[in-house]
Amino acid sequence: MKLKSFATGQWFESSDAGNPLPDAITGEPVAEISSEGLNFAAMADYARTTGGNNLRKHTFPQRAAMLTELAKYLGEHKADFYALSTSTGATRRDSWFDIDGGIGVLFVYGSKGRKEMPDGNTYIDGNPEFIGKSGSFVGQHIYVPLTGVAVHINAFNFPCWGMLEKLAPCLLAGMPAIVKPASSTAYLTEAVFRKMIESDILPEGAVQLISGRTGDLFDHLTCQDVVGFTGSKSTADMLRQHPNIIDKSIRFSAEADSINCSILGLDAQPGTPEFDLYIKEVLNEITTKAGQKCTAIRRIIVPESVSDAVIQALSEKLSEVRVGHPGLKETTMGALASLDQREEVRSRVAELVADNEIVYGDVENVEVHDADPAKGAFLGPVLLRSNDTSASGSVHNTEAFGPVSTILPYSNTTEAVQLANLGGGSLVGSIFSHDKDIIRELALGIAPWHGRVLIADRDCADESTGHGPALPQLVHGGPGRAGGGEEMGGIRGVLHYMQRTALQGSPASVSYSASGDEGMIQVPINE
C-alpha cells in the first residue's frame, strides 16, 4: 500500500516505488512512502488562499466548536487507529497516550477556544496604554491571525498526538496547516488524517498532508508562514538555517532532543512515600513507549547515600518488565519504532558506556515474548550509573531515545540543581520531595533551564499526571537543547500563530479597529 498525500484538496499518490515502511514487530512492510511529484508551491498557495480565507470566515469559538466535533469524530473511529498503532511497536497503553492523548488535546482547545477567546478573530492583549497626557492618544496590543500557512514537521514517536497537538492551536488561531509526519510511522498519521478529511468538519484547505519529503516547500515560505518542527536537534539545526527561513525571518519553532532529569530530594529516603513514588515514576518513564518519549527521564539524580537503594529497587522492578508483542495485554513494554532506531539507540548506549557503567540490562540480548526477536525492534530496559557527572560527561549530552536511563549521585541540593541544568535546557524536570525548603531550592534553581517542572509528593500523587505527559494547558517546550520552542500552554499556544500588533491612535479609532469584526469584544477604553 502506497501512502497518499493530501494536496490542494485531493488525494495524491506518487508514481514512483516509494520507500518501504517496515512493521516494528514483524519487519514486514506496512506501507510505502513517497512524495515525489507533489507540487509544494501549489500546496502553500492553496493553504493561504483557500484554507486561510475559509478558516477566518469563522470566529474563534466557531473554530473551537470544529475542534470539539473533530475530537468526537476521531474518538468514534479510534479502534482502527489502535489496530494500526501496534505496528509502530506501541502497547495499548502507549497507544492511549498517542491516540486518546491527541484527541484530548482537540477537546481541551475546543473548550478553551469557546470559553477563553473572544467572539471574533482579534484577540485583545491586556489593557490600553494611555500615552498622551489628556488621554486622546492611546496604545492597545492586539493579536491577529497570520495570513500564511503553518508547516508542521513531526517526529516518529507520536504519529497521532504529534499531529493533533500542533493542529489544535493552529486551526483555532485561524491558520491552515500542511502536516508532514515522520516517515517511519506515517501510516498511522495518514489513517487519522484520512478520517479528518472524511469527517468534512474542517473548511476546505484547512489541512493538507505530505507523506514523504518536503521537497522545495521551504523555498516557497514567506514571513506570514510558520514552521513547527519536532525531532532531533541536528535536523532542527539544519532546517532553521535554510536560507529562506533566515532571509524572511520565518517563525521557526523547534521541539528537539531533551535530556530530562528527575531529582529525588535528600529527604526522600527509602521508606518514605516519595521514594516509592519516585521508583514507580522512573520505571514508568523508562518503559512507556519503550522510552521513545521526548519527555522521558534520561537522568535519575539521587542522593549518593541512597543511590544503591535506588539501583536495587529499580532493578527489581525492571526485572518484572515483560518485553514482547505489543498487541498482548501481558506485555508491559513493546518494541522501538524500527530496527534502524534500535541500532541508533545501541550506538548511543555505546557512547554512554565510555564514562557510565551499565548496572542493569543488556542492549544486545532481551527475552521477547510472542514475537520474533530477530525481526522485531525489541530492546530490553537499560539502567546505567554515571562515573562522570561533570559538564563534559556523556550523560548530559547523549540522548539514547529508548528504554535507557542513567543514575547520577549527588551530595547536596545545590549540586543536584547544577547537575539538572547541565542538560543544557530541557522540556521537563521533576522533583520528588516533601520538604518545602528542598522543593523551593530545587524548583527555583532548575526552572530557568526547564519548560516544565513537576513537584511530586504524597499530597498530589493521586491526581498527578506524572513526569512525562505534556498537557495542552501547560507549556510544552524548553530552552537550549530542547529546541527553544514553546507549544500548547493554553491560549499562548494559539497566539504563536498570530501577529502581536500595537495599535496606536485616539481611543475611538483604536477601539474601532480592534473591534471591527462582527461580534468582536470592545477595547475597554476611557471608561
Q: Please report how close the Cβ of residue 165 comes to ligand NAP at its closest, in angstroms.
A: 9
The one catalytic residue in 255, 274, 399, 487 is 255
Query: What string of H, E and C letters represents the secondary structure of 12-51?
Result: ECCCCCCEEEECCCCCCEEEEECCCCCCHHHHHHHHHHHH
153 binds ligand NAP (CB under 6 A): yes
Residue 243: CB partners within 8 Å, gap ≥ 6?
A: none
Query: What string of H, E and C letters represents the secondary structure of 375-403?
Result: CCCCCCCEEEEECCCCCCCHHHCCCCCCC
- Per DSSP, what are the bridge partners of residue 125? 141
Q: Which is nearer to ligand NAP, 154 or 515 (CB)?
A: 154
Q: Which three cell numbers stand for residue 269?
A: 529516603
290 binds ligand NAP (CB under 6 A): no
Distance from C-alpha of 455 to C-alpha of 168, rounded to nearest angstrom: 28
Q: Which of 230, 356, 406, 430 binds ligand NAP (CB under 6 A)?
A: 230
Task: End-to-end CA distance of the chain: give it in Å, rounded.
Answer: 64
Local structure of residue 294 (DSSP, 8 states):
T
The one catalytic residue in 32, 285, 294, 399 is 294
CB distance 413 to 436 below 8 Å: no
Sign for the CA dihedral angle at 407, 413, 415, 421 comes to positive
Q: Please report how close the Cβ of residue 229 comes to ligand NAP at its closest, in angstroms.
A: 7
Whether 294 is a known active-site residue: answer yes
The DSSP string of 355-379 is TEEEEE--SS----BSS-TTTS---
Q: Which is nearer to ligand NAP, 235 or 397 (CB)?
A: 235
Q: Please report how close the Cβ of residue 7 comes to ligand NAP at its closest, in angstroms.
A: 16
Q: Which is nearer to ligand NAP, 70 or 155 (CB)?
A: 155
Contact code string over 170-189 relative to ligand NAP, x by CB under 6 A? ----------x-xx------
Q: Please report how close the Cβ of residue 142 comes to ligand NAP at its closest, in angstroms.
A: 30
Alpha carbon of residue 4 to chain centroid: 24
Instruction: Name the residue with cell 498530589.
Output: 460
294 binds ligand NAP (CB under 6 A): yes
157 binds ligand NAP (CB under 6 A): yes
Q: Which of 88, 95, 258, 430 binds ligand NAP (CB under 6 A)?
A: 258
255 binds ligand NAP (CB under 6 A): yes
156 binds ligand NAP (CB under 6 A): yes
Which of the residues 333 through 352 are near ligand NAP (CB under 6 A)? none
Q: Which of 170, 427, 498, 523 binds ligand NAP (CB under 6 A)?
A: 427
Sign for the CA dihedral angle at 368, 369, 373, 379 comes to negative
257 binds ligand NAP (CB under 6 A): yes
97 binds ligand NAP (CB under 6 A): no
CB distance 226 to 496 below 8 Å: yes
Whether 223 is a known active-site residue: answer no
Q: What is the largest CA-CA distance in the chain?
A: 79
Q: Which of 225, 267, 399, 441 binds ligand NAP (CB under 6 A)?
A: 399
The closest residue (CB) to ligand NAP is 231
71 binds ligand NAP (CB under 6 A): no
The amino acid that residue 290 corresponds to is A
Q: Which three cell numbers stand for residue 274?
A: 516519595
Distance from C-alpha of 99 to C-alpha of 92, rounded to nearest angstrom: 10
Q: Please report how close the Cβ of residue 75 comes to ligand NAP at its closest, in angstroms.
A: 23
Residue 48: CB partners within 8 Å, gap ≥ 6?
A: 147, 148, 149, 176, 224
Number of residues that bind ligand NAP (CB under 6 A): 25
Which of the residues 453 through 492 are near ligand NAP (CB under 6 A)? 482-483
Half-sphere exposure of 63 (CA within 13 A, CB side): 32
Q: Which of 163, 172, 201, 256 binds ligand NAP (CB under 6 A)?
A: 256
398 binds ligand NAP (CB under 6 A): no
Catalytic residues: 255, 294
Contact positions vs ligand NAP (CB under 6 A): 153-157, 180, 182-183, 213-214, 230-232, 235, 239, 255-258, 294, 399, 401, 427, 482-483
